[in-house]
């Protein structure tokens, strides 16, 4: 009986960890992030800017990751750092094009800079991944947390509450160590905050 309870508890925790991991990939998080920020900015071109933001930060990266994982017959979260290089490079290009397009359509400065953060932060991840398996999941939720706090103040802290859950899920699934998820979260938060603070006033 005890073994059955332990097994059931383990399966529940594993399912929860996998669910958290699945719904907090960086491109998926980007979709509601840009949607919420654009909505509260109340821009006249809300639909166009939101569509372009979600296209370049969310939909195209998802398609790239799915295509690459299927082509190479590997897991979608790329458990080996060696599998990250090419899909990350393609996504980096997508983010950069997104920055140019958003600038061209006169998107709000916060939206342009946030897309630039996705570009620059992913570039940093790519460089680090050549030597060490930093947690993209942790970075991918900590960066948006910083942007929501930057835009909405204390209310944005509610989103930041999911960071420990994401860190736990990646450790529980044995995808990362504590140091890898911690560095990912810290790097994502502070890189995003610094870039927003420096670049938004310039646009």
The domain spans of the chain are: 17-202
d(CA 117, CA 95): 9
Which of 11-15, 87-91, 192-196 shows the lowest per-residue confidence on average (mean pLDDT)? Answer: 11-15
pLDDT in tens, 98-142: 999 999 999 999 999 999 999 999 999 999 998 899 999 999 999
**pTM for the full model?**
0.90
Mean pLDDT, rounded, for 86-105: 96
d(CA 73, CA 180): 25
Q: What is the DSSP letter of 13?
A: H
d(CA 4, CA 33): 41
pLDDT in tens, 48-71: 999 999 999 999 999 998 988 788
CA-based nearest residue to 182, from 138, 145, 144: 138
Distance of CA 54 to the CA centre of its chain: 13
The runs of H, that is alpha helices, within the chain are: 2-23, 26-41, 46-54, 60-72, 85-104, 109-129, 136-152, 157-160, 162-172, 178-199
Taking phi over 0 as left and psi of -120 to 50 as alpha, with beta for the rest, 80 belongs to beta
| pLDDT, position 8 | 56
With a cut of 80, say whether residue 78 has pLDDT above it.
no
**Helix 178-199 × helix 109-129 angle, to 10°:** 150
CA end-to-end distance (rounded Å), the chain? 64
């Amino acid at each position: 009986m005890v073994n059955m309870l332990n097994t059931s508890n383990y399966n529940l925790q594993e399912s929860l960890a996998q669910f958290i991991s699945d719904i907090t990939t960086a491109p998926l998080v980007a979709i509601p992030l840009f949607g919420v920020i654009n909505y509260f900015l109340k821009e006249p071109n809300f639909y166009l800017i939101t569509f372009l933001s979600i296209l370049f930060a969310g939909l195209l990266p998802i398609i790239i990751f799915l295509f690459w994982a299927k082509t190479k017959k590997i897991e979608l979260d790329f458990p080996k750092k060696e599998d990250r290089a090419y899909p990350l490079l393609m996504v980096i290009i997508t983010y950069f094009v997104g920055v140019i397009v958003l600038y061209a359509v006169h998107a709000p400065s916060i939206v342009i800079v946030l897309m630039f953060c996705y570009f620059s932060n992913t570039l940093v991840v790519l460089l680090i991944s050549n030597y060490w398996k930093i947690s993209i999941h942790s970075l991918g939720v900590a960066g948006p947390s910083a942007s929501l706090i930057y835009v909405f103040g204390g209310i944005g802290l509610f989103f930041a509450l999911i960071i420990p859950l994401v860190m736990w899920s990646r450790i529980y699934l044995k995808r990362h160590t504590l140091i890898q998820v911690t560095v990912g979260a810290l790097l994502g938060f502070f890189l995003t905050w610094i870039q927003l603070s420096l670049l938004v006033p310039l646009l």
